[in-house]
Amino acid sequence: MSTAYPIPSDISPATVKNTASLLRIVALSLISGAAIASRLFAVINFESIIHEFDPWFNYRATRVLAAKGFYEFWNWFDPTAWYPLGRVVGGTVYPGLMVTSGVIYNILHFLNLPVDIRNVCVLLAPGFSALTAWATYMFTKEMKDESAGLLAAAFIGIVPGYISRSVAGSYDNEAIAIFLLMFTFYCWIKALKQGSALFGTIAAVFYFYMVAAWGGYVFITNMIPLHALVLVLMGRFSDRLYVAYSSWYAIGTLASMQVPFVGFQPVSTSEHMGALGVFGLLQIVAFAQLVRTHVSSQQFQKLLFGSVVAIGVLGFFSFIFLTYKGKIAPWTGRFYSLWDTGYAKKYIPIIASVSEHQPTAWPSFFMDLQFLIFLFPAGVVLCFRELRDEHLFVIIYAVMASYFAGVMVRLMLTLTPVVCVASAVALSTLLDTYIDPTEPVADDDTRSEADSTVTSNGSSAPSKKAKKAAAAAVSAPSKGPLSDLVAAATGSAHAGTGNITTGIFGLDSRGVVVLNVVFMLMFFVFHCTWVTSNAYSSPSVVLASTNPDGSQHIIDDFREAYYWLRQNTPQDAVVMSWWDYGYQIAGMADRPTLVDNNTWNNTHIATVGKAMSSSEEVAYPILRKHDVDYVLVIFGGLIGYSGDDINKFLWMVRIAQGVWPEEIQEPNYFTSQGEYRIDDRASQTMKDSLMYKMSYYRFNELFGGNPGTDRVRQQQVPKEGPTLDYLDEAFTSENWIVSLFPSLSYLAPHHFFRSTSDASNCICSRNSDSDFVSMSLLVLPRW
């Protein structure tokens, strides 16, 4: 047996094995470090702050949990949300995230480490990303081997598609859910491979944790049964499958019903019926198998087969019948919108209005996954080559997740792990092939030539690589040859392959490919770092722009306004705003809100939409009825912040129209040419609407009475600005992003807070046109 480069032969197999496992541990810990470190951009660039919208609620809930204990949290009724309906938080929340933080917080305090709960929350997502990397390693190890596992762990550690949801401060359910997803899948695969009820039980327990943590648990609920079903249909039923699936389903389903928010759904909604059906099918098939072992009568088997089919058909029809009778809830609207992308826009505008629910744009696949997106299909194809039971799982997962990621931006998150796994399998196969020192049997002279010429160079190739592998992520591939060494030394894979006929000749061809791969990996690291630091680390509570001299300019209008509310208004002053800002107002300003990001009551949201989109005379009684003291408006026209309320305004109109089609009609808000304008040509309904009036109230005064230019819409506002009769201006933040309008019934002294220093700020921001364009670009991916 010849080798392309010399392999030390005097090392005992035990040493190689120990060294390999030590290196694996080191590599895994380095990967964890890289995964955590790359998520800290947000903290370093800004500060340790909770990001976005939903995390603010999670944070607030966690504080309640940490301060008052679990039972108070469970019974928490929040009277300040959805005023005056209130929200039963304990029963309408996935508590997994908060409980996790609460447990960590209590453990740290038990150890006399007085860590602030906010820091626990901010750093939870990076911490769990390290665990995700480990779970992915375990999962991929089951698919191929340790080297592929390490590659997959490195990929998932830094891939932007996952980082986008797990930067420090992004304290959302997904932060822990992806770890749970991967670990549940790992346990499932393990249970299936061994036929072990133990792993089935562990999978069920983690499934329970997942159910408690994220609504996306339905993905698992359908993935595992689908896998089992495909196995049965392919004739791969085995007792192992029966053991794994039955133990997982029986315990997991019962456990999932303990979560108050889920309740009886697992036995009453269509989304969960697939799992139940497969469970029943497996029982029947197992029974049939058992009978078959005892009887070999041809006739009887026919009978058995017929009865199995009959029972399956019967079960299917009874399912339809029960759905029809209303015993089983039909698919929810969100689910339909997965199949028909136009469905949500037509029937449930509130879902369609969320940018996360839009179909994914093609560039974002590349932005989030970079070169993994090319390797991904290769990995899937490689799975077909062996096609063991677990490979089938990856294939199904890949197909389903690709589809869902194409339908909804936010489901990119579920695609990312399988992309990492498949790409790692592909890449590690490639590296295995090309680093494999074994030379194929060929003409003797060619081989000896190659041997003699490149032997001296040979040993330097991996060492060069090792140097480059300083970056933790890239260190993974360097394990490739080592594991091969192990394989060679332990003699399992390649020992007996002295006379193989296919393979790679020489070191140069090896070098070209391996160096190419290394280059791609390095470029991947650069790309991930760049995307993470530029696109995914903005807290969106604090905006950043660049001054003309290159220094960073922080736009902190949101917090300015929220703290103004907190300090200047009575504790029970009700604030009305569009639902996007509900959680932030509750979290930062601590004031009751009408609607928030937990969009459970469409009518209430439509009421706010109606108030915003109708004239003052119509809106005022609505405001009075809901005891509104302040109206909060986000306006980006001055600095070019594109995520403002005027741009969301059409959604308010649409949602209001869904409930009051007589009073609010979307076409009225367009010009006669069908354009959405805010300048002189805007329709009268548009100009009369509360939102328009509040946004452009006294806007012209900033421009010395000349018509001002809205920098988002790039239009001039009308010469005489709108006037307000029922509302008054109380506060406008520095860059005009946030304005507050108290309704006049509120008898506090009138606050006019547009500090004079703003004018200078406005001018300076007007001078730096391009900066704000770039800023809004950076903000875009989050909206």
Partner 1 sequence: MFALKRVLLLAVGLASLVSATSSTGNSVLVVVEPKRQDDFSMFFEGLKDQGYELTFRQPKDEKPLIAEYDVAAFAHVVLLASETKNFAKDITPQSLVDLLRLKTNLIIALSTKQTPLSLLAPEFSLILPPPGTPLISYFPKRDEPASLVPITPTKRDATQIISDTSKPIWFSGVPQALGSNPQLVPILHAPAESFASEIDGGSADALVDSAEKGGEGLWAGSQLSVVTGFQTLDGARVTWVGGVDLFSDELAQKVGPDGLKSGNAAFARDIVAWTFQESLVLRIDKVEHHRVNETGPSELYTTNDELVFNAYISKFNPKQGSWEPYSGINDMQLEFTMLDPHIRTALPPVRSVPGKYSVTFRAPDRHGVFKFVVDYKRKGWSHLHSSVTVPIVPPRHDGYPRFLSAAWPYYAGAISTSIAFFLFSALWLAGEVRESAKRPGKAGKAE
Partner 2 sequence: MAPKSTPASSETAFNAFNTLWKAYRDGTSDRLKFIDSFLFFLMLSGIVQFAYCILVSNFPYNAFLAGFSSTVGQFVLAASLRSQVNPDNKDEFKDVSPERAFADFALGSIVLHFFVYNFLG
Q: If binding is defined by CB under 8 A, does position 362 make contact with partner 1?
A: no
Q: Which does 88 bind (CB under 5 to 8 A by kind): partner 1, partner 2, none?
A: partner 1
- Cα dist from 305 to 255, 310, 318, 579, whole Å: 33, 9, 20, 56
CA angle (550, 554, 560) in 5-degree steps = 165
Contacts of range 565-574, beta carbons closer than 8 Å, 24 or more positions apart: 565/589, 565/591, 565/630, 565/632, 565/731, 565/740, 566/590, 566/591, 568/731, 568/751, 569/629, 569/630, 569/748, 570/629, 570/748, 573/629, 573/630, 573/746, 574/83, 574/626, 574/627, 574/628, 574/629, 574/630
Nearer to partner 2, 307 or 492 (CB): 307
Q: If binding is defined by CB under 8 A, does position 329 make contact with partner 2?
A: no
Nearer to partner 2, 84 or 306 (CB): 306
CA dist., res. 50 & res. 33, Å (int): 22
Nearer to partner 1, 49 or 619 (CB): 619
CB contact at 8 A, 601 and 82: yes
CB contact at 8 A, 133 and 153: yes
CA dist., res. 478 & res. 489, Å (int): 17
In sequence order, which residues have a C-beta less than 8 Å from that of residue 580 and are 6 or more positions away?
53, 597, 648
Q: Which does 374 bind (CB under 5 to 8 A by kind): partner 2, partner 1, none?
A: none
Q: How far is the CB of 312 from partner 2 (least distance, A)?
A: 11
Q: If binding is defined by CB under 8 A, does position 85 make contact with partner 1?
A: yes
Q: Which does 295 bind (CB under 5 to 8 A by kind): partner 2, partner 1, none?
A: partner 2
Binding mask 704-733 for partner 1 (x = CB under 8 A): ------------------------------
Q: If binding is defined by CB under 8 A, does position 539 make contact with partner 1?
A: no
Q: If binding is defined by CB under 8 A, does position 88 make contact with partner 1?
A: yes
CA dist., res. 65 & res. 79, Å (int): 16
In sequence order, which residues have a C-beta less than 8 Å from that of residue 98 and are 6 or more positions away?
58, 61, 62, 65, 73
- The residue within the footprint of partner 2, chosen from 306, 498, 661, 705 (CB under 8 A), is 306
Nearer to partner 1, 47 or 572 (CB): 572
Nearer to partner 1, 596 or 710 (CB): 596
Q: If binding is defined by CB under 8 A, does position 83 make contact with partner 1?
A: yes
Nearer to partner 1, 560 or 627 (CB): 627
CB contact at 8 A, 148 and 424: yes
Nearer to partner 2, 22 or 310 (CB): 310
Nearer to partner 2, 23 or 311 (CB): 311
Beta bridge partners of residue 576, listed in sequence order: 631
Q: If binding is defined by CB under 8 A, does position 625 make contact with partner 1?
A: yes
| Closest C-alpha among 35, 81, 72 to residue 582 | 81
Q: Which does 27 bind (CB under 5 to 8 A by kind): partner 2, partner 1, none?
A: none
559, with CB counted inside 10 A (0-12, 13-18, 19+), is middle
Q: Which element (helix H / strand E) includes 740?
A: strand 738-742
- Residue 704 phi, psi dihedral angles, 5° rounding: 65, 35
- The residue within the footprint of partner 1, chosen from 326, 363, 570, 749 (CB under 8 A), is 749
Q: Which does 85 bind (CB under 5 to 8 A by kind): partner 1, partner 2, none?
A: partner 1
Q: How far is the CB of 95 from partner 2 (least distance, A)?
A: 15
77, with CB counted inside 10 A (0-12, 13-18, 19+), is exposed
Q: Which element (helix H / strand E) includes 308?
A: helix 298-325
Binding mask 253-282 for partner 2 (x = CB under 8 A): xxx-xx-----x--x---------------
Q: Which does 77 bind (CB under 5 to 8 A by kind): partner 1, partner 2, none?
A: partner 1
Site for partner 2 in 226-255 (CB under 8 A): 238-240, 242-243, 246-247, 249-251, 253-255
Nearer to partner 1, 83 or 237 (CB): 83
Q: Which does 647 bind (CB under 5 to 8 A by kind): partner 2, partner 1, none?
A: none
Q: If binding is defined by CB under 8 A, does position 317 make contact with partner 2?
A: no
Q: Which does 79 bind (CB under 5 to 8 A by kind): partner 1, partner 2, none?
A: partner 1
Strands in 738-742's sheet, in edge-to-edge order, are 574-576, 628-634, 738-742, 731-732
Pull the structure tokens for residue 104.
């960590």
Q: If binding is defined by CB under 8 A, does position 69 make contact with partner 1?
A: no
In sequence order, which residues have a C-beta less than 8 Å from that of residue 340 and are 6 or more positions away?
none
Q: If binding is defined by CB under 8 A, does position 77 make contact with partner 1?
A: yes
Q: If binding is defined by CB under 8 A, does position 591 make contact with partner 1?
A: no
Pull the structure tokens for residue 224.
């595992």
Report which residue type is found at 231.
L
**Residues at the interface with partner 1 (CB under 8 A):** 71, 74-75, 77, 79, 83-86, 88, 90, 572, 592, 625-626, 747, 749
Contact residues toward partner 2 (CB under 8 A) are 193-198, 200-201, 204-205, 238-240, 242-243, 246-247, 249-251, 253-255, 257-258, 264, 267, 283-284, 286-288, 291, 293-295, 297, 299-300, 303-304, 306-307, 310-311
